[in-house]
Each structure stands twice: as structure tokens, then as C-alpha cells.
Copies of this chain bind each other. A is one copy, B any other.
Amino acid sequence: MERTLVKEIVGKVGEKVCLKGWVSTKRDHGKLTFIDIRDRSGKAQLVGYQKMSELSNEDVIEIIGTVKERSEKQINLEIATGKVEVDVEEYKVLAKSATLPFDMSKDELDLELPTLLDHRALTLRHPRTQAIFKVQAVIIDSFREYMKSQDFFEFQAPAIAPAVAEGGAEVFEVKYFEHKAFLSQSPQLYKQIVMSAFERVFSVNKVFRAEPSVTTRHLTEIVSLDAEMGFIDSWTDVRDMAENVVKYVFKQVSEKCADELKLYGVTVPSTIDKTPTISLREAQQKIFEKTGSDVRQEKDLNPEDEREICKIIKDETGSEIVFVYGYPTRKKPFYVYPNPENPEFNEGMDLLCRGVEWLSGGRRVNDFDQLSKHVEAWKMDPKTIKLFLDAFKYGVPPEGGFAFGAERMTMQILQLPNIRMANMFPRDMERVDFRLKQKENDN
């Protein structure tokens, strides 16, 4: 008999169906056993005979039964199948579960984050956990969808890098045969190379940061969503593209993940037609005027400033997103384009949302001579970026691009307290699946 998905029973009252799934909860009522069965499509109530009380939560079962309408007072409007139930006629155990280490049947798992991650195989089954990754899948898919609609070409950026292009100690070293290699911190230089051949490119790929600190918003391995476009007239072309893709992602998430957003009691950030765009100095001035805190000479916004400027812009305009551009040129990477009218500040930009930086980008230096001067001024070794410099030696149009992290966007949309919740298998200083210290004690 062909399997019916749980959500499909709604249209099958009076029909015999075969359901397969996990025992989510079980309640014994004398001669009757009530079971919530869970499959990838949702949950439904089974009414079983007494023997089914042998089942335990998370057992995998296959049942044959007849769909019927629930009596008025049994109706449960909280679940999509809440007006029907299935009278079980036969059942089979496909796989037994061991006794669970904690109660999986609650609406919310009552676990500390480390415990939740220690038991990742199990906690991934919980609807509240699954909601996070459904939102994330839609974010990533919508990013690709939008970029393709704008004629961007998808490429695969490498993870193993030959050298630490941008300097910095925060990079993982790989033993590469008898050589040293590194894990890529960013596909930045590769996407610029590929852009120089395909004009408009994007990638979805892993980047790695060996930051020796434990915060609620950093991981050592994340999914980076990157785009780069040639033949721009101004850095604002890059801003517009970034704005449009972010708005598209919000739209898709709010349409496709209505249930998931509801589960977390959140909405996607509100936006307005023309997203506010202010320079760093303007942002700092606004913060000064509002709070009295004088950060007007700082090279960047600190976390408190980011929260403050988001609040100010939301109050002023209703927009929860804001672009901040024009950072001090020498404080940013060598490839960021200096404003020709005021070269001390660049045409780099960040998108801030709900108090946090979500996206970075801007115009890049495309002229080879200017780029060579930057390489020298930034004291970089041109040999380590030869492939990149080659691209620009042979003619590259005015260009720019942007990047954002899938986990951070997921975390911020769902307003999760910790980015580790937005990664199925989060890696940090203390954990790679296992707690690293504990593992060493075991040995």
C-alpha cells in the first residue's frame, strides 16, 4: 500500500491510508492508545488499540488505518491535521528507539545549549529546531534565486587556499602533503577573478575563521553568500543589488516560512521603499546628537553604535535596515575603492539590521596601477595574490560586490540568542561535534 504523508490525510476522510513516521507522543487511555505520529510533513493523531501502548516515543512505525473526522471537542486548531484523526487497524515497528535522554515531546526543548548540541542527532528532530533550518534553507535558496534572476553566474569557490591573502592570524593551517595551506577566510579574491571573466557571479560556500574567542555571534565555519558584479557606474549599483536581494529574501521567508516565524513570534525586518543610506560620519553624528556619545572620529561603528544607529534609523524612517558607507580607506582591505573626491574615505558599505552588521560590500579598485599602489601601501606580498593581480592586469571593468553570512541572517531573523542555534553542526573553539576538552579528557 502506498504511503500517505501525514499532512495529506486532511483530504482523505473515510479513506484507508498507510502512514509512516515517528511516535512523537503517546497517551494510554485504557483500551485506547493515542499517538501523535510525526513525519516530514507534520503531525497527526492516531487512535490505536491497547497493544500499541507497547510503543515508545521516537519509535519508527508504519500504520494502516482509516481517516475520520474528530468529534467537535477533540478538534485541535494548533496543528494542520487537527480536525481529523486516524483509526489504526494494523501497525508495524520499523525501528525501536532507546529510552530518550530527555523529553522530546514538549513544545520547547528544556535544554541548555551545550546539551542541545551534545545531542544534536536527536534535537534536530524537534519541530522548533527544524524551523530554524527551514528558514535557513529558504534564505540560501532565495539568495540563489534572486542572483540568477539578475543574470549572475554561480561558481564554486575553493576552501583550500595557498596563502593568507589579507594577512591576519585568524586562519586555520592545513597540512597539505609536505606543504602548508590554509582554509579560506573569504572567497573575495576568487569571486573578483571569476567576475573578471563572467561579469556577474555568486557563490554559496564555506568560509573559516580561527578567531580565538567565544562569542554568541561567531563560528569557525560558516556559509557565506557572495556576489560580485562588473560594469557598475557607481558603488550605489552594488548597494541597490544588495538591497534588492535582501528584500527578496525577506519576502520569500515571510511567505514560505509563515509557520516558522510564528513559532518564534517574530516577523522579518521591516523595510521601506528607499533604504536609508548614510555615511559613517553621518551615522556617528546622529549617534552623538542622540546619545551624547562622541564616536565621531572612530574608524568604525562598535557594537553599541550599531545598535544605536539602527534604533535611530528605525525611529526616523520605519526601516529596520540601513546602509552605512564611507569608512576610512586605510582601515579597510586593499581592494576597497577610495572615494575619488575624498580618498581618505572609501566606497565600502555595510548593511546593518536590528543592531547588527548583516552584509558587507562596496566598490573595488579595478585599475591595475591603483591596485598595485594599494598592494604596496598595504605592505602585501604581490606574489601571494598573483592570480588575483593577473586578472586586473588584463582589463577589468569598474566593479563591486557584497557578502553575507547565512547563519547570522537566520539568527537575526528568528532573533535567536546564539548563532550556534543557526548551524546544524556548529564549530567553535570548544566544539567540533564533541566538546574538545572533554574529548581530550576521555583519551
Stretch at the interface among A171-179, A289-297, A304-312, A318-326: A171-179
Please report the C-alpha to C-alpha distance between residue A193 and residue B120 in the assembled complex, in whole angstroms: 9
Find chain B residues with CB under 8 A from A181 CB: 432
Q: Mark A387-405, 1 if CB is under 8 A from B, else 0.
A: 1101101111110000000
Please report the C-alpha to C-alpha distance between residue A212 and residue B158 in the assembled complex, in whole angstroms: 19
Q: Which label, helix, strand, loop or mixed, suits the secondary structure of the A interface?
A: mixed
Whether B58 contacts A383 by the Cβ 8 Å rule is no
Whether B153 contacts A394 by the Cβ 8 Å rule is no
Please report the C-alpha to C-alpha distance between residue A155 and residue B407 in the assembled complex, in whole angstroms: 12
Find chain B residues with CB under 8 A from A155 CB: 133, 137, 424
Chain B residue, CB-CB nearest to A406: B156
Interface size class of A (residues with CB under 8 A): 35 or more
Whether A387 contacts B424 by the Cβ 8 Å rule is no
Which one of B20, B388, B425, B429 lies within 8 Å of A121 (CB-CB)?
B388
Is the CB of A380 closer than 8 A to any CB of chain B? no
In the complex, chain A residues 298-341 whose Cβ is within 8 Å of any chain B Cβ = none
Is the CB of A241 closer than 8 A to any CB of chain B? no
Whether A442 contacts B397 by the Cβ 8 Å rule is no
Which one of B3, B97, B221 lies within 8 Å of A160 (CB-CB)?
B221
In the complex, chain A residues 188-203 whose Cβ is within 8 Å of any chain B Cβ = 190, 193-194, 196-200
Whether A196 contacts B125 by the Cβ 8 Å rule is yes
Chain B residue, CB-CB nearest to A367: B95
Stretch at the interface among A261-269, A270-278, A433-441: A433-441
In the complex, chain A residues 133-149 whose Cβ is within 8 Å of any chain B Cβ = 133-134, 136-137, 140-141
Find chain B residues with CB under 8 A from A205 CB: 206
Is the CB of A366 closer than 8 A to any CB of chain B? yes
Is the CB of A69 closer than 8 A to any CB of chain B? no
Whether A158 contacts B95 by the Cβ 8 Å rule is no
Q: Mark A144-170, 1 if CB is under 8 A from B, else 0.
A: 000000010111111111100000000
Find chain B residues with CB under 8 A from A423 CB: 156
